[in-house]
Amino acid sequence: MKSIVTGGAGFLGSHLCDLLLEKGHEVVCIDNLVTGNTKNLDHINSDKFTYLKHDVTKPIYFDDKIDYIFHLASPASPVDYLELPIQTLKVGALGTYNMLGLAKEKGARLLIASTSEVYGDPQVNPQPETYWGNVNPIGPRGVYDEAKRYAEAITMAYHRYHGIDTRIVRIFNTYGPRMRANDGRVVPNFINQALKEEDITVYGNGSQTRSFCYVSDLIEGIYRLMMSDFTDSVNIGNPAEMTVLKFAEEVIDIIGSKSKIVFKDLPVDDPKVRRPDISRAKEVLKWEPKVGLREGLEKTIRYFENIESNKN
C-alpha cells in the first residue's frame, strides 16, 4: 500500500504518517513547511518513508502507483490562517484540485481534512453532518471556512462526475504533542502560559465552548474513515464540551500553576459553541474517542515541558 500525506510535517499529518507506517504502508509526505516542521518527522527511521518539500497548490506527478491520498495540507490555527489568508484559500482550492487530479490519474482514494469550521458560528448544538452551517464568507475567518467548504464541494463534484473514490472528515478541535507552542491555538497557549506562570489569556468572557479531542483518537478515526466505504462527510471529535474559561481552570489545576486568568478581546466571528454530534462515526466507523481530557492534557503538557527543558 502506498499513501501520500499532504501536510505530513504538521501536527496531525506527522501522527498520521506514524500510524500508516505502523500499518505497513509506504508513505510519501508532501509539505512546504509553511506552518509545519521536519522536526515532527525526525523520529521516523524507515526506508518506507519519503519526505518531499513541495507546495501542493502546484501540480505534482508520480511514476508509481498510489493507493491512498490523505490531503491535510492547510494552515489550521486561526492565528496562522489570518496571517496566511491567500495561501489558505489556495491550498483549500488549488491544493484540493491538484490532489483530486492526482487521485483521478492514479485511481487512488482521496480523503480531505475538512473542519468543524464549515458549520461557522453554529445555530445548532451539537452539530450533525446534516447541518449546513452559519458562515460569514467575508469575515476574516471566511478564508479558512470557505476554503474548506469549497474543498468539500469540489471533492463531491469529482466523486459524482468522475467517480473518484473520496472521503471527507470534518475534524473538531484536536490537541496533543507536536502542536507548535506558538501556533496561537487555545491548547498550546494555555499550557505554555501556565508552565511559565504567565497570565492565561481568555478571549471574550470565556463562555464560548469547545470540545477537545486527543490526537491518537482523531488519527484512528481518520484511518477508519479512509478504510471504510462511506463517501459522505463524517464528524470526528470528542463530544465532551466545556467553556473556554473552564478549560483554562482545568489547565491551571493540572499543572498546579500560579498563573492568573486575564480577559482579552474576542476574535471576530469566534464561534460561540462547538460540539460534534458523532452518531454517524459511531454507526459507520464503530469509532468513538477513548482518551479523556485529563489524560490527553497530561501527555501534551509533558511534551511542552520537554521542549522547554531541551531549550535550556
> Helix 244-255 and helix 293-311: axis angle, to 10°?
60
- CA neighbours within 13 Å on the CB side: how many for 229? 0
Locate cell 469575515: which residue?
Answer: 139
Contact between 20 and ligand NAD (CB under 6 A)? no
Q: Which is nearer to ligand NAD, 175 or 257 (CB)?
A: 175
Q: Does 148 bind ligand UDP (CB under 6 A)?
A: no
Residue 173 as a binder of ligand UDP (CB under 6 A): the answer is yes
Choosing from 68, 97, 119, 144, the catalytic residue is 144
Nearer to ligand UDP, 215 or 244 (CB): 244
Distance CA 73, CA 121 (A): 23
In the bound state with ligand NAD, the residue whose beta carbon lies nearer, of 219 and 257, is 219
Position 216 contacts ligand NAD (CB under 6 A): no
Distance (Å, whole) CA 86 – CA 144? 10
Applying CB under 6 A, among 5, 41, 103, 113 the residue interacting with ligand NAD is: 113
CB 236 within 8 A of CB 278: yes
Assess 57 for contact with ligand NAD (CB under 6 A). Answer: yes
- Widest CA span in the chain: 58
Q: Which is nearer to ligand NAD, 260 or 290 (CB)?
A: 290
Nearer to ligand UDP, 185 or 280 (CB): 185
Binding test (CB under 6 A) with ligand NAD, winner from 3, 25, 75, 219 = 75
Grid look-up 474513515 returns: 225
Minimum Å distance from CB 194 to ligand UDP? Answer: 11
Judged by CB under 6 A, the residue of 35, 189, 211, 235 near ligand NAD is: 35
The three cell numbers locating residue 25: 504502508
Distance between CA atoms of residues 102 and 104, nearest Å: 5
Q: Which stretch binds ligand UDP (CB under 6 A): 18-26, 32-40, 152-160, 184-192?
A: 184-192
Considering only 100-108, 151-159, 163-171, 181-189, which stretch makes contact with ligand UDP by CB under 6 A?
181-189
DSSP conformation letters of 213-265: EEHHHHHHHHHHHHHS---SEEEES---EEEHHHHHHHHHHHHT--PPEEEEP
- Residue 73 is a binding residue for ligand NAD (CB under 6 A): yes
3-class secondary-structure state, position 276: strand
Q: How far is CA 53 from the centre of its chain?
A: 20
DSSP 35-63: S--GGGGTT---TTEEEEE--TTS----S
Residue 144 designated active-site = yes
111 membership: H or E segment, kind and range: strand 109-115
Site string for ligand UDP, 224-263 (x = CB under 6 A): --------------------x-------------------
Contact range with ligand UDP by CB under 6 A, out of 53-61, 105-113, 197-205, 283-291: 197-205
Residues catalogued as catalytic: 144
